[in-house]
Amino acid sequence: MEHLAGFRVLRYDGRGQGQSPKPEGVYGLDVLLDDLIGLLDSLDWPRSHVAGISNGGCVALGLAAAYPERVHRLVAADCYGRVTPLLRLKVQSWLTAHKIGGPTHRFDVATPWIWSESLLNEHPELIDHYRGKAAGHEEQAVLGLLEGALTHHIDLARITAQTLLLAGEEDLLTPPHAMRAMTPRPADAQFQTVPGGHASLLEHPEIWAETITPFLLDPQVG
């Protein structure tokens, strides 16, 4: 990752995504954390900065809450600590769309909640690209991820790591006002809006170099 030059970086595909296994079942936060801890233990990975976006942001928050000794500084983007009634309705609409019309119909219903208007206007070809990828998503993986996302509940008060919360200014799924309200340590945690929608770091990878790296390297933090 060019925007994290100088860091030793561990990236992995979470359960149900990429090249990781896609078993049947609900991919709740406890399951995803067990997967991550197993990976870290197998690599003898040291205490580290942890960053994630969307469901990965929830995993990052959950790791910092459940295993504070594993996390130095925490960056969580476009995510949530608990499922609000409104968020539940949004995600359930995706589940219904998937069950009725399959993965591409689910993608079409979810797209307005995920991507920013500026991206849709300037790079519509990216939507076609991701829609094509969605067509190949396996049934049990989609159901496991969405059903699991509806169970996430994180005790944010247990987070002791210095935290940066990032919210895409056009994010309709987990909007800035919702992320600002979930700040785990109001006196210490930093909150910042960034360009983009719910996939802000994908739309604007320069956020890593401009915002995240300075936070991780700032000697005044922590």
pLDDT tens-place string over residues 22-36:
999 999 999 999 999
Which DSSP symbol is given to 117?
Answer: H
Q: What percent of the chain has pLDDT over 90?
A: 87
- Asked whether residue 70 is domain-assigned, the answer is yes
Nearest Cα residue to 80 out of 145, 6, 20, 153: 153
- The pLDDT tens digits of the residues spanning 94-125 come to 999 999 999 999 999 999 999 999 999 999 99
Give dist(CA 166, CA 77) in Å, integer. Answer: 4
93 three-class SS: helix
Domain of residue 40 covers: 2-217
CA atoms within 13 A of residue 78's CA, in its CB half-sphere:
25
103 to 62, 198, 222: CA distances (angstroms): 27, 19, 43
Q: What is the pLDDT of residue 220?
A: 74
Give the burial class of 160: count Cβ atoms within 10 A of its Cβ; 0-12 exposed, 13-18 middle, 19 or more buried.
middle
* Cβ atoms of residues 37 and 29 within 8 Å: no
- Residue 1's pLDDT band (cuts 50, 70, 90): low
Residues 6+ apart with CB under 8 A from 190: 163, 164, 165, 215
Which helix or strand (DSSP H or E) is residue 162 part of?
A: strand 162-168
Q: What is the pLDDT of residue 37?
A: 98
Q: pTM of this prediction?
A: 0.94
- Asked whether residue 68 is domain-assigned, the answer is yes
- Asked whether residue 141 is domain-assigned, the answer is yes
- Asked whether residue 78 is domain-assigned, the answer is yes
pLDDT of 186 above 60:
no
Residues 6+ apart with CB under 8 A from 29: 58, 59, 62, 148, 151, 152, 153, 154
Pairing of strands 162-168, 71-77: parallel
Query: In the chain, how many domains are there?
Result: 1
* Cβ atoms of residues 88 and 150 within 8 Å: yes
- Asked whether residue 49 is domain-assigned, the answer is yes
Domain with 122 in it: what CATH number?
Answer: 3.40.50.1820
Residues in the chain: 222
Give dist(CA 57, CA 127) in Å, integer. Answer: 22
- Asked whether residue 222 is domain-assigned, the answer is no
Give dist(CA 141, CA 34) in Å, integer. Answer: 17
Q: What is the pLDDT of residue 185?
A: 66
- Residue 221's pLDDT band (cuts 50, 70, 90): low
